[in-house]
């Protein structure tokens, strides 16, 4: 059974993928904290309502690999964006504030853990509904 065909599981998986990709972007900011003229990056916030609206759309099935792949997901499905509102810039032009980035990394990890727990609970409810709750 492919859980990504169930809308809720698909959205949870996308949110988890967003957090994973954001972790990489934030780690890159920390790694470049001493690079001159480096501007910190962040992802555009995950909009659950927008994703929910779009999840109801039917995708076109590709029966031939030569068909256009415009509807297939990209490798990095979430948009990168410049971080707004940096409150500190070094004389060399670097705008990475380590404390801010570490706070974002911690918050991202907490949110990822929360969405992982929701996924786990949904799996447990599905198992219970199928009569395999104790396994």
In tens, the pLDDT along 61-117 reads 667 777 665 544 444 556 666 555 555 666 667 888 899 999 999 999 999 999 999
Residue 86 lies in a domain: yes
Domain that holds residue 38: 7-129
Instruction: Dump pLDDT digits (tens) for 75-88.
Output: 455 666 655 555 56
> Is 107 within 8 Å of 19 (Cβ atoms)?
no
Residue 19 lies in a domain: yes
Cα–Cα distance for residue pair 76/50, rounded to 1 Å? 18
State the helix-helix crossing angle for 98-129 and 7-31, rounded to 10 degrees: 160
Residue 2 lies in a domain: no
Closest CA to 81 of 32, 44, 114: 44
Residue 39 lies in a domain: yes
Q: How many structural domains does the chain have?
A: 1
pTM higher than the cut 0.85: no
Q: For residue 97, count other CB atoms closer than 10 A to its CB.
A: 18
Residue 1 lies in a domain: no
């Amino acid at each position: 059974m492919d859980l990504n065909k169930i809308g809720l599981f698909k959205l949870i998986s996308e949110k988890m993928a967003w957090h994973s990709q954001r972790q990489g972007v934030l780690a890159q900011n920390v790694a470049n904290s001493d690079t001159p003229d480096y501007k910190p990056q962040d992802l555009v916030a995950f909009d659950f309502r927008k994703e929910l609206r779009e999840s109801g759309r039917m995708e076109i099935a590709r029966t031939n690999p030569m068909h256009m792949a415009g509807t297939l997901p990209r490798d990095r499905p979430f948009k990168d964006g410049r971080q707004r509102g940096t409150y500190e810039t070094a004389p060399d032009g670097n705008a990475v504030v380590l404390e801010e980035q570490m706070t974002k990394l911690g918050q991202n990890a907490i949110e990822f853990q929360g969405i992982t727990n929701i996924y786990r609970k949904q799996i447990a409810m599905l198992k219970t509904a199928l009569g395999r709750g104790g396994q």
